[in-house]
Structure 1
């Protein structure tokens, strides 16, 4: 049983010990063990403590750290350890009374100060260990953003990605080794990026410009954002469906019959903590869903290739379920049994048989049964007329 903090997580800037607060210096002076990346350890003067370079991958260092439980120990982290840093990972292994954290200014604080940008109005994202596409929902002309990147060469790759997305005129403000004697700030358009010898650690400020497609904020985004073979919940119906599904922070969606993945991807766009699993029986479509999710910054989407209801076993409990195809009584029976109390079910039917099935379940379980009829204007000779789409019956219910 550990009765007092034995671990101090110290945020270290590029100026090394010169920028440390007195409490951080005291923790280092009193530590018997100091762990950190080789780069962090190299910034420190010679210490009386045993120094241990944190191994790669990061997870390999956790058992090493915990083997010193009860011994005064310091772990070095970059800037604020709880901004895309080691802090959250370490905290999951410890009780609150075992550690204290002494942060330094985060990379984003230093970057905002260097560029004169209001941090509360600027999206920030850690892309040093995440796909560039995570930024995709934030790309639109006139937006600013701050991101961290893995290393110097990755900045050129990032610039090339921006060009591919249609945002070549974006200005990249490359911020190198902020807060230390090696600090340097240079700027270049993405479409003619030619900076070299970029020093680690690196972050980038973006003045986004270009005519690439911006993602609307409302649900029911344009169909052509998603690669599909025609199996897609069309934009107006998708907007109504997502409104009925009503995603909330932290909730998990089962999307049965994923098609293009549009419902799941828009669910994930609703909030950074939402989760989704889509089940798709067609392997080609399942791969297309994965590609759509990766390209549109929703790579956390879990795709299961299989047929419901068999493929529903061993999935995380859902907060909401959408059935977009393959409706059967067996599926509804399995889904209803798997739903915890309070979970929401939304099912769309196009065929008369599926419509009759939903009518029976609505009679038995209650909820709301809605018929959606849409028509679009089409040429009719030299004039125009309405061309109706197949009506859709939507059943929604909370268990």
Structure 2
């Protein structure tokens, strides 16, 4: 795998040039292949679309031949390198990286790489940028093409970051490199602008004074969500996410999604977290999708159907949250059985019937049973008093590892203990 910059052949070192000269087959994008010298005799193959499913077939077709793959910049940084390493195993791939567009951009801007957050929109929805928007943060956005800067500007305006200065850096490292002067997202969204397809967008995030502040930890304001009242309220949500304890790469089942707040905030804790929200009401399921996109996690998978039947076929979860439907026959059993050993199950309820059921499971499986109570100050005539919200009973349990993780000791819902 050879990383190629906007400067093409001229920017390659001796090792990369030698690898390409000795190759029998060279695969890359049309733009990258056009940067190679005409005298090359190797067969040139342009990547098909979609690219990822084509990787195994291409490797199989050219097994035993000297195969070179061209990539933009560093192939292992948001590039084709990951797919090739997964298919051919690291030992079967030799990577010759080039400085990435991020390295070039930070060098031109004077930004430290380690404190600059990078979001790629190549083959990904622009909505995912919303999760990275925090006042005072510096962002580099890897662009999908000439229209991306205006799309980014519109998104920033929609999310309350219209005052943010944006700069567009084109053809980094090449002869046609150009840095556009900073304009606010509001200005760029208004006129669009014309940009080279090979560009990176730099954003100095500035939140508008009247924009809702969204923090980096669970417990976003209730106003951040579109909902019909089926919403785990802010304080209870923060406690629930703390009990679920998300970690990078883990998968959550959010059963009885409501407005999707638990799944959304699970995903916002780390970009590699995964979540499935299961909601039986179609209108609410559509609302979950809108909330996820609005809050920067459009990858939240929404399954419309009634649990436990709707859970069939889902990947095994590391954590399960049950926010509704606890008394549905077999639901708790199914969730506990599906949970990976060492995984966490958290269930919330406000009804006496569901509370009694959680008491049974607590006696059987242990864990922690707590009652959460929140009161808010409200006007009382000319004074101020406390209004108590309905208390929430929460059961949290960790599934044992080893023989104890079996499912043969599950109680029958509603059976006397």
Question: TM-score scaled to structure 1, two decimals?
Answer: 0.94
Decide whether the 8 Å contact of 1:280 with 1:306 is kept in 2.
Answer: yes
Q: 2:111, 2:339 → 1: CA distance? A: 46
Q: Pick from 13, 19, 31: which aligns with 2:11?
A: 19
Equivalent residue number for residue 3 of structure 1: none
Hey, what does 1:204 align to over in structure 2? 201
Cross-structure match for 2:358: 358
> Aligned in 2, Cα 1:117/1:35: closer, same or farther, shift over 3 Å?
same
Match of 2:266 in 1: 267
Q: Hey, what does 1:216 align to over in structure 2? A: 215
Tell me, yes or no, if structure 1 residue 32 matches structure 2 residue 24.
Answer: yes
> Over aligned residues, Cα RMSD in angstroms?
1.5
Q: Which moved further from structure 2: 308-317 or 211-220?
A: 211-220
Task: Output aligned runs, 1:165-314, within 5 Å.
Answer: 165-187=159-181, 188-193=183-188, 194=191, 196-211=193-208, 212-314=211-313
Deviates more, 1:36-45 or 1:161-170: 161-170
Residue in 2 aligned with 1:318? Answer: 317
1:88 aligns with 2:87: no
Question: Distance in 2 between the 1:130 and 1:140 partners?
Answer: 20
Does the 8 Å CA contact 2:126/2:151 hold for their aligned counterparts? Answer: no
Residue 200 of structure 1: how far off its partner (Å): 2.2
Which structure 2 residue ranges, 5 or more long, are not aligned? 400-417
Deviations 1:63-94 (A, max 9, x none): 23431111112111100011111111111211
- The separation in 1 between residues aligned to 2:193 and 2:215, in whole angstroms, is 35
Aligned to 2:403: none
Q: Give the conservation status (yes or no) of the 8 Å contact 1:137–1:214.
A: no
* CA displacement, residues 14-62 of structure 1 (integer Å, 9 cap, x when unaligned): 1111110111011011111111111111111121212222222214642
Q: State the alpha-carbon separation in 2 of the partners of residues 338 and 166 from structure 1.
A: 40
Structure 1 spans left out of the alignment, 5+ residues: 1-8
* Cα offset, 1:242, TM superposition: 0.8
Per mean C-alpha deviation after superposition, the further-off stretch among 382-391 and 132-141 is 132-141
1:140 and 1:213 in contact (8 A); partners too: no
C-alpha distance in 2 between matches for 1:392 and 1:97? 53
Deviation at 1:385, TM superposition (A): 1.6
Is the 2:131–2:297 Cα contact (8 Å) retained in structure 1?
no
| Counterparts of residues 324-335 of structure 1 (less than 5 Å) | 324-328=323-327, 330-335=330-335
- Give the direction of change, closer, same or farther, for the CA distance of 1:322–1:176 in structure 2 (3 Å limit): same
Could you tell me whether the CA contact under 8 Å between 1:238 and 1:263 is conserved in 2?
yes
* Aligned mates of 2:15, 2:345 — CA distance in 1: 53
Q: In structure 2, the residue corresponding to 1:43 is in which secondary structure?
A: coil
Tell me the residue number matched to 1:72. Answer: 66
- Deviations 1:84-141 (CA, angstroms, capped at 9, x unpaired): 1111111121132322000000010011011111110010111122122212122133
2:132 is the counterpart of 1:138 = yes
Contact 2:84–2:93 (CA<8 Å) still a contact in 1? no
Give distance in 1, aligned partners of 2:62 and 2:333.
52
Query: For 1:277-304, what per-residue CA distance to the aligned partner results, in whole angstroms no more than 9, with x for missing partners?
Result: 1110110000000111111111121111
Aligned partner (choices 33, 41, 47) of residue 48 of structure 1: 41
The 4+ residue runs of structure 1 with deviation greater than 4 A are none
- How many residues are treated as equivalent by the alignment? 391
> Which sits farther off after the overlay, 200-209 or 109-118?
200-209
The Cα shift of 1:177 comes to 0.7
Q: Secondary structure at the match of 1:347?
A: strand
1:348-386 CA deviation, whole Å, 9 max, x = no partner? 110111111111221222111111122111222221221
Comparing 342-351 with 155-164, greater Cα deviation is found at 155-164
* Cα distance change on mapping 1:154 and 1:96 into 2, 3 Å: closer
Q: 1:5 maps to which residue? A: none
Structure 2: how far apart are the matches of 1:52 and 1:364? 61
Bigger drift between 95-104 and 55-64 goes to: 55-64
Q: Name the CA distance, whole Å, in 2 between partners of 1:372 and 1:295.
A: 29
In 2, Cα distance between equivalents of 1:352 and 1:31? 71
Relative to the length of structure 2, the TM-score reads: 0.90
> How far is the alpha carbon of 1:197 from its aligned partner?
3.5
